[in-house]
Amino acid sequence: EDQVTQSPEALRLQEGESSSLNCSYTVSGLRGLFWYRQDPGKGPEFLFTLYSAGEEKEKERLKATLTKKESFLHITAPKPEDSATYLCAVQDGNNRLAFGKGNQVVVIP
Protein backbone atom coordinates (compact mmCIF):
# COMPACT_ATOMS: atom_id res chain seq x y z
CA GLU A 1 0.00 0.00 0.00
CA ASP A 2 1.29 3.44 -0.92
CA GLN A 3 2.23 5.60 2.05
CA VAL A 4 2.95 9.30 2.36
CA THR A 5 4.32 10.90 5.53
CA GLN A 6 4.70 14.65 5.86
CA SER A 7 6.79 16.40 8.48
CA PRO A 8 6.64 18.56 10.44
CA GLU A 9 2.88 18.51 11.02
CA ALA A 10 2.92 22.17 11.95
CA LEU A 11 5.50 24.91 11.52
CA ARG A 12 5.60 28.51 12.70
CA LEU A 13 8.00 30.78 10.86
CA GLN A 14 8.98 34.39 11.24
CA GLU A 15 8.56 36.37 8.05
CA GLY A 16 11.75 35.96 6.03
CA GLU A 17 12.84 32.79 7.88
CA SER A 18 13.41 30.15 5.19
CA SER A 19 12.55 26.51 5.89
CA SER A 20 11.73 23.18 4.27
CA LEU A 21 8.82 20.76 4.41
CA ASN A 22 9.39 17.06 3.99
CA CYS A 23 7.29 14.44 2.22
CA SER A 24 8.60 10.88 2.46
CA TYR A 25 6.87 8.15 0.50
CA THR A 26 6.74 4.48 -0.34
CA VAL A 27 5.01 3.70 -3.61
CA SER A 28 4.81 0.97 -6.17
CA GLY A 29 6.09 2.52 -9.38
CA LEU A 30 6.05 6.28 -8.89
CA ARG A 31 4.34 8.07 -11.78
CA GLY A 32 4.30 11.49 -10.19
CA LEU A 33 4.51 13.42 -6.94
CA PHE A 34 2.23 16.41 -6.44
CA TRP A 35 2.26 19.38 -4.10
CA TYR A 36 -0.94 21.27 -3.33
CA ARG A 37 -1.64 24.30 -1.17
CA GLN A 38 -4.83 24.49 0.89
CA ASP A 39 -6.11 27.65 2.55
CA PRO A 40 -8.69 27.47 5.36
CA GLY A 41 -12.21 27.01 4.00
CA LYS A 42 -10.99 26.22 0.49
CA GLY A 43 -10.09 23.21 -1.58
CA PRO A 44 -6.49 22.30 -2.39
CA GLU A 45 -4.81 24.28 -5.16
CA PHE A 46 -2.28 22.58 -7.44
CA LEU A 47 1.32 23.79 -7.14
CA PHE A 48 3.75 21.31 -8.73
CA THR A 49 4.18 17.90 -10.31
CA LEU A 50 7.54 16.11 -10.09
CA TYR A 51 8.14 12.97 -12.13
CA SER A 52 11.67 11.74 -11.53
CA ALA A 53 14.47 11.91 -8.96
CA GLY A 54 16.57 15.03 -9.36
CA GLU A 55 13.76 17.09 -10.79
CA GLU A 56 13.11 20.57 -9.37
CA LYS A 57 10.26 23.03 -9.89
CA GLU A 58 9.97 26.63 -8.70
CA LYS A 59 7.16 29.10 -8.24
CA GLU A 60 7.77 32.43 -6.55
CA ARG A 61 9.17 31.63 -3.07
CA LEU A 62 8.50 27.89 -3.36
CA LYS A 63 10.86 25.26 -4.71
CA ALA A 64 10.03 21.56 -4.85
CA THR A 65 12.65 18.82 -5.19
CA LEU A 66 12.41 15.06 -5.53
CA THR A 67 14.59 12.09 -4.60
CA LYS A 68 13.78 8.38 -4.79
CA LYS A 69 12.39 8.39 -1.26
CA GLU A 70 11.24 11.91 -0.48
CA SER A 71 10.36 15.36 -1.69
CA PHE A 72 11.10 18.71 -0.13
CA LEU A 73 9.17 21.93 -0.46
CA HIS A 74 11.53 24.79 0.28
CA ILE A 75 10.01 28.12 1.28
CA THR A 76 12.48 30.97 0.80
CA ALA A 77 11.97 34.21 2.73
CA PRO A 78 8.30 33.43 3.45
CA LYS A 79 5.63 36.08 3.74
CA PRO A 80 2.41 35.90 5.77
CA GLU A 81 0.48 35.08 2.59
CA ASP A 82 2.42 31.82 2.38
CA SER A 83 0.54 30.62 5.47
CA ALA A 84 -1.43 27.53 4.43
CA THR A 85 -1.48 23.76 4.67
CA TYR A 86 0.73 22.12 2.06
CA LEU A 87 -0.35 18.68 0.86
CA CYS A 88 1.86 16.09 -0.80
CA ALA A 89 0.45 13.25 -2.91
CA VAL A 90 2.00 10.37 -4.84
CA GLN A 91 0.60 8.66 -7.90
CA ASP A 92 1.51 4.98 -8.33
CA GLY A 93 1.80 2.79 -11.40
CA ASN A 94 -1.95 2.12 -11.33
CA ASN A 95 -2.70 5.86 -11.26
CA ARG A 96 -3.87 5.63 -7.66
CA LEU A 97 -3.24 8.77 -5.63
CA ALA A 98 -2.28 8.77 -1.94
CA PHE A 99 -2.19 12.00 0.04
CA GLY A 100 -0.25 12.87 3.16
CA LYS A 101 -1.85 14.61 6.15
CA GLY A 102 -0.25 17.92 5.27
CA ASN A 103 2.19 20.47 6.67
CA GLN A 104 0.44 23.39 8.34
CA VAL A 105 2.57 26.52 7.94
CA VAL A 106 2.02 29.80 9.77
CA VAL A 107 4.20 32.77 8.86
CA ILE A 108 4.27 35.47 11.50
CA PRO A 109 4.81 39.09 10.40
Partner 1 sequence: ETGVTQTPRHLVMGMTNKKSLKCEQHLGHNAMYWYKQSAKKPLELMFVYNFKEQTENNSVPSRFSPECPNSSHLFLHLHTLQPEDSALYLCASSQQGTNEKLFFGSGTQLSVL
Binding site for partner 1 (CB under 8 A): 4, 32, 34, 36, 41-46, 49, 87, 89, 91, 95-102
3-state helix, strand, coil in the chain (%, to 5): 5, 60, 40
CB of 60 to partner 1, least distance (A): 19
Nearest to 103 by CA among 16, 31, 4: 4
Residue number with CB closer to partner 1 (59 or 101): 101
Instruction: Please report which residue ranges of 1-109 form alpha helices under DSSP H.
Output: none
Residue number with CB closer to partner 1 (12 or 96): 96
